[in-house]
Amino acid sequence: MSQNTVRKYVQSLEDKHLISTERTEVIAKDGRKRNGTLLYTIRPIEEAIDYFHSEQLWRNA
């Protein structure tokens, strides 16, 4: 998959409150801070369900 495709699907999961992502930093051997990988956290399904229901209510209001 291309980076854009992966980015699109990750964004979709974040928008649905199914996952959250955090940027990380690493310190190189020479002491410089560098960007690390993204940290993915699976969120509780109850949060996603509550978000979905609130979005449905908002759209139908």
Q: Would you state the pLDDT for residue 15?
A: 93
Q: Would you state the pLDDT for residue 49?
A: 93
Q: Is the pTM of this model over 0.85?
A: no
> By C-alpha distance, which of 56, 46, 59, 39 is closest to 17?
46
Q: Would you state the pLDDT for residue 23?
A: 94
Domain boundaries, the chain: 3-60
Q: Would you state the pLDDT for residue 1?
A: 86
Q: Would you state the pLDDT for residue 55?
A: 87
Could you please report the per-residue DSSP string of 31-53?
Answer: S-EEEEEEEEEEPPHHHHHHHHH
Q: Would you state the pLDDT for residue 35?
A: 93
Q: Which residue numbers in the chain have pLDDT < 70?
A: none
Give the end-to-end CA distance of the chain in Å, rounded to a whole number.
39
